Amino acid sequence: MIATWMLSALLFTALLGVSAFCAESVLRAVGRQTRWPWLVALGGSVVWPALAPIVRRLIPETGAMRSVATTMPSIQVVPDQLPAVSWTHWVDVALLTMWAITSAIVLTRLGYSLVVLSRIRRASQPQVVDGVSVFVSASVGPAVVGIVQPSVLFPAALLELDAPLRRLVLRHEQEHCRARDPWIVVGSAFALALVPWNAPLWWIVRRARLALEVDCDARVLATEPNKTQYGKLLMLISQRQQTTVLAPMLAASSSHLERRIAAMLPIRSNRRGVRVVVALVATVVAGIAACTSRIGDGIVGPKPVIADRAANVNPDQPYFEFQVTKQVQQVPGTGNLRYPDLLRSANVQGVVLGQFIVDEQGVFEPGTFKELKSDHALFTQAVLTALPNMRFSPAELRGVRVKQLVQQPFTFSLSRNEAISPRPASAALVTVVGTVAHRAAVGGPPSPDKPHLESQVTKAASQIPGTGNIRYPDLLRHANVEGEVLATFVVDTSGAYLPGSLMVLKSSHELFTEAVKNALPNMRFTPAEVQGKRVRQVMQQPFTFSLSK
């Protein structure tokens, strides 16, 4: 369920953020760069939830899950084998839809910001200020714009500053360029566009931007020890500057100004050791919590149930292929299929993909056959006739014989003028359906004695209204019983039913079948034609018995 994955990813990101926050305190206490914990948290929050399910499926333990992925979709086409779509499905659909819409909005805003930055840079005038090449803008900056070739954007108003203050501004922006901070800023913006619903990630990105500025301040103050002057410069620029998205700048956010100035102050020596230890312990605890199995299972999904580790084996329960330790195998030479004569005469080939249960004795369990795909009803009837005579080596689970749900293709081919026996059921055949050649043999004049299918004729046979009316069985009429007979028969070149060609595919009652048999000889049809010549045609027709009128 997507909702479970998203909630686990939110909690995972939040714990990574807590760990990064504590790690930042440790690094600041020892005088190190503070950006790295936030960058690790940012990358882990985006990459790990996306890759974890894939990694989980690559380890050997998940071999069963790969069988599920190939087996379950073909089973799902059987309506009465699975429950109706649950409400969780619609929740997932709604969440994915909102995710896509929100990502599109954020990506659009990101693209617009990049266009605005490009326009600002083109509108600015290149100039050399205190020996540094910059672009002088009307009001935006100071900031760094560009990714491949970052440039300093310097506002015209700051040109009036004293030379020492201008050098501090330029030094700060040059440090951003040297540290490749524009790459980090744009990358974090794209990360937010990928998972805009991840609220803790927005906080991590904001803290990472602050860490970039704090680190840059520290590098500048390493050569410019006048912290008071630098702090006043930050306050001056924060009051004047016009902020720009996706551009590292000297005072990108006035809300960060207090934290940046506080970061310049030294930590009291009597508190440094305690602060480092507490923050280090908190970092480790939060990191371990983020990697716990409860959160991890929500991200990668629950572990698949391995059949040989099942606590109990129920021989009466049908198992899927991936759940058994020994799969069903057909005994060669049993249950050969008989090719339907009508389809053999019409040169029709095809495949039936069926699903059925093989019991603990290796025998087809009556009533369990489900037709997943069939190229003709007569092929399906041939499979149903042959299945009771087939024998299988039964499936086993931990040494115990069990029932197994099997999916198997039955191929009918005229390459040797006979039906091919179904191949032994195996994992490789579960999802394989052979390509069907469903075309009439063409070439030469049409034969009037060979029955054709409807798809092979240019003019199909049709019943002449008012002929061969079917009489409703009196016993079923009085009992208010309705039903239907689905039958296949041949109409000859004179438009009459060909005696002996009737095959009943489905019937609601034997009396309905008898009524159809009695009516067919009196029915008249317009005969089928191929290339202007009358030919025989195989017709498949339903006969409905209704009391509504």
H helices of 124-226, where? 163-178, 181-194, 199-221
pLDDT score for 524: 92
CA distance 152 to 137: 10
Over residues 198-215, the mean pLDDT reads 89
Q: Which of 25-34, 285-294, 425-434 has the lowest mean pLDDT?
A: 425-434
pLDDT score for 244: 53
pTM value? 0.49
Is residue 203 over pLDDT 70?
A: yes
Q: Which of 416, 442, 422, 444 is nearest to 434 (CA)?
A: 422
- 446 versus 528: the higher-pLDDT residue is 528
Quote the tokens at residue 26. Answer: 């440790």
The Cβ of residue 80 has, within 10 Å, a number of other Cβ atoms equal to 6
Which of the 8 DSSP states describes residue 522?
Answer: G
At residue 442 the predicted structure's pLDDT band, cuts being 50, 70 and 90, is very low
Distances (CA, A) of 342 to 66, 173, 376, 409, 445: 42, 85, 11, 21, 20
At residue 428 the predicted structure's pLDDT band, cuts being 50, 70 and 90, is very low
pLDDT score for 294: 55
pLDDT score for 117: 81
DSSP secondary structure, 236-255, as one string: HHHHH-B--TT--BTTS-GG
Is residue 121 over pLDDT 80?
A: yes
502 CB-contact burial (10 Å; exposed 0-12 / middle 13-18 / buried 19+): middle
pLDDT score for 275: 65
